Structure 1
Amino acid sequence: MAITIRELAQALDAQGWGDLDLKVTGAAEPQATGPVGPEGGVIALAMSPKYATALQPGSMAILAEGMDPQAYGLKAAIFAPRPRLLMAGLTRAFDPGPDIAPGIHPTAVIDPSARLGEGAAVGPFVVIGADVTIGRGARIGPHVSIGRGSRLGDDVLLNAGVRIAHGVTAGHRLIVQSNAVIGGDGFSFVTPEESGIEEIRRTLGSRDAIKQQHWTRIHSLGGVEIGDDVEIGANSTIDRGTIRATRVGNGTKIDNLVMLGHNVTVGDDCLLCSQVGVAGSARIGNRVVLAGKVGVNDNIDVGDDVIAGGASKIFTRVPAGRVILGNPAVKMETQMEIQKAIRRLPRFAEQLARLQETVTRLLEKG
C-alpha cells in the first residue's frame, strides 16, 4: 500500500510541506528512516525535537507544528496539530488488519439457522451456533466460537480463538482480540448455612466455631450486553449476569487480561487497563479510567469521570470526578501525603529513640 504525502495529509486533516507527490509506504521511528527513493519510503514519527535529531536527510516525517523541516533536511513533512490524534489516523491508514480471507472457509461449522450479513469473512474452524445473527462486514478469525442466540452488529472483528457464549448481544464495530471469553458463567456460589465469608463480613474478622461448608452453584441466566465501538483485549473475560445482563457501554475500551464479574455495569467511553478486576454487581460510570491492576469491590458505585491510578484498590463508593490512588484508594492528594509521611517514618523512629534515651537518662539522674 502506498499513498502520497498530499493524500495522507488530506486524510489526516493536516498540513503538508515539501514534495507532496512523494509516496508513503508505511511508518517508522526516526532512526529507521532513510532518503526517499523513486518507489517511496516510510514516514518518520518525529513529533518533538528530541526525536527529530535522529532523522536522516532526504527522508520525510510527521512533525509538531512550529518545527522546521528544512533544519532536518527533509524532502516532505506533515504537521500535526495534535500529534497523538494524528498518529491514530496514520496507524489506521496503514493497518492491514488480520489476514481473514473473504467468504466462508470450508472448515467452518455454521448452524443452518444462523444468519450472516453481507460481506462476512469467516476463517477456518469457526463454529457458529443456532439462531446467531451477525451483521454486515463481519471478520471472524480462525477457531472462533459463537454460542446459540447471540447477536452481533455490523463490522465486528473477532480475532483468532475468541469465545462468545450463548445469549450475548453486541453492537456495531466490536473488536475482540485473541482468546477473550465473553459470556462465561459468573463465579457465584452459596452455602446452605452462613459461610465463613458472610460471617467475616458481619463480624469484621472474628470467627466463631469453624464448620465444614459445601458450595452450591448459582447458575447464570443473564447474558452480556455490549454497546457500539467497544474493544476487548486479548485473554480478557466478561462473565454473564445471574438474572440480568452484564453490560458494557458504547465506546468503552478494555485492555488485555481484564476481568468483569457477573452483573457488572460499565458505562460509556471508559478505559480499563490491563489486569483490572471488577467484582460482581459493581457499577462503573461513564468515562471512567481504571489504570493497570486496579481492583473494584463488589456491589459498589464508581461515579462518572473517576480516574483511578495504577494498582488502586477500591473498596467503597467513589463520587463522580474524583482522582484516586492507593490501597485502599483515597483522593490522590491524600495518598501523596500518606506516602510522604511513610518516607519520614525512619527519621521519626530515630528521633523517638533519641528522645527515649534522653528521658531514660533524666529519670535515672532524678
Structure 2
Amino acid sequence: MTKSLTMAEIAEVLGGRLSGDGSVTVLRLAHPADIRGSDDLVLAMDPALMPLLANSPVRAVIVAADSDVPPSIKASIAVGRSRVALSKLTALFEEVVEVPAGIHPTAIIEKGAVIASDARIGAFSYIGAEAQVGAGTVIHPQVYVGPKVTIGAGGLLYSGVRIGARVQIGKRVIIHFNASIGADGFSFVTPQMSSVEAAKANGEVGVSTNNELLRIASLGAVMIGDDVEIG
C-alpha cells in the first residue's frame, strides 16, 4: 500500500532542517534520474545531482546541509549524514510483506513447542518439538524450524529458511530466503593413514589404496546473537 507522508512528518523523523511548505505530501522515494511525478520525494544529497531537478515536476527534496535548492522546490529537508538519513527514509517507505496474525491452519506445530501469543506463523511452516518462537517474531510460509530451536523476540524468517535442531537465535534476527542454518558439519577419517595425511606428515607421495571412510558427526549447534541479518 502506498504511504503518504508530509514533509513536516519526515523532517521530524530525520531530525533535519525543513525549509518551505511542510504540508507538501509525498508518496515515494526517487533518485533524481527516476522522477515520475510531483508526489516523489527526491534524494539529492549529492550536489552533483541537482542539475537533474531542472524542468522536473518535483516539489520536495532531501539535500545535504548547505545545499542550494532550486526556487521551484516547494519543500526541502537538509540532513547531515546522508546514509543515516537514507536508513531512516527507507524504513519509512519500505513496503513490508505481511504475514497474517496468528498461526496459519496449515502450519504444523509439534508437541511442546512454545509460540509467543503475538508471533505469526505462515502457511505450511513447520515448528519442531520443544522449539520456542519469541514475541513478535514473523515466520513466512514454508519455513522449517527444527526441534529445540530457540528464536528470540522480533525475528523475521523468510520463505524457504531451514533451521536445524537446537540452533539458538537471538533477538531481532532476519534470515532471508532459502538460508540453511545448523546443517551437520560432518567430516571423515580413515582407519589407516590416508595418502593425504601421509603427504602432510612426511612428504610421502604414493599410490593410494581404497580406504574405508568413517564419518565424524557434528554434535554441536549454531548460536546466533542479537541483531544479525543473514542471506
TM (norm. structure 1) is 0.59
After superposition, what is the alpha-carbon deviation per residue over 1:315-346, rounded to whole angstroms, capped at 9, x for unaligned?
Answer: xxxxxxxxxxxxxxxxxxxxxxxxxxxxxxxx
Tell me which residue corresponds to 1:59.
59
Q: In structure 1, what is the Cα distance between the partners aligned to 2:163 and 2:77?
A: 42
- Conserved 8 A contact 1:34-1:59: no
Shift of 1:34: 4.9
Q: In structure 2, what is the Cα distance between the partners aligned to 1:227 and 1:87?
A: 26
SS in 2 for 1:53: helix
- Conserved 8 A contact 1:69-1:76: no
- The answer to whether 1:11 aligns with 2:10 is no
Shift of 1:200: 3.4
Tell me which residue corresponds to 1:49.
47
SS in 1 for 2:63: strand
Task: State the AA in 1 paired with 2:70.
Answer: Q
Tell me which residue corresponds to 1:250.
none
Q: In structure 2, what is the Cα distance between the partners aligned to 1:85 and 1:33?
A: 22
- Conserved 8 A contact 1:2-1:24: yes
Shift of 1:57: 4.6
Unaligned runs of 5+ in 2: none
4+ long deviations beyond 4 Å:
none
1:1-366 alignment runs, 5 A limit: 1-34=3-36, 36=38, 41-55=39-53, 56-70=56-70, 73-203=72-202, 206-233=204-231
Shift of 1:203: 4.2
Bigger relative CO (Cα 8 Å, ≥ 6 apart): 2
Shift of 1:209: 3.4
Q: In structure 2, what is the Cα distance between the partners aligned to 1:61 and 1:185?
A: 51
Shift of 1:215: 2.3
SS in 2 for 1:106: coil
Q: In structure 1, what is the Cα distance between the partners aligned to 2:125 and 2:90?
A: 29
Shift of 1:202: 2.6
CA RMSD for the aligned pairs?
1.7
Task: State the AA in 2 paired with 1:231.
Answer: E
Task: State the AA in 1 paired with 2:66.
Answer: G
Q: In structure 2, what is the Cα distance between the partners aligned to 1:196 and 1:167?
A: 36
Shift of 1:126: 0.3
Tell me which residue corresponds to 1:249.
none
TM (norm. structure 2) is 0.92
SS in 2 for 1:7: helix
Unaligned runs of 5+ in 1: 234-366
Task: State the AA in 2 paired with 1:67.
Answer: S
Seen in structure 2, the aligned counterparts of structure 1 residues 22 and 179 have a Cα distance that, compared at 3 Å, is same
SS in 2 for 1:45: strand
Q: Percent same amino acid among aligned pairs?
A: 37
Equivalenced residues, count:
227
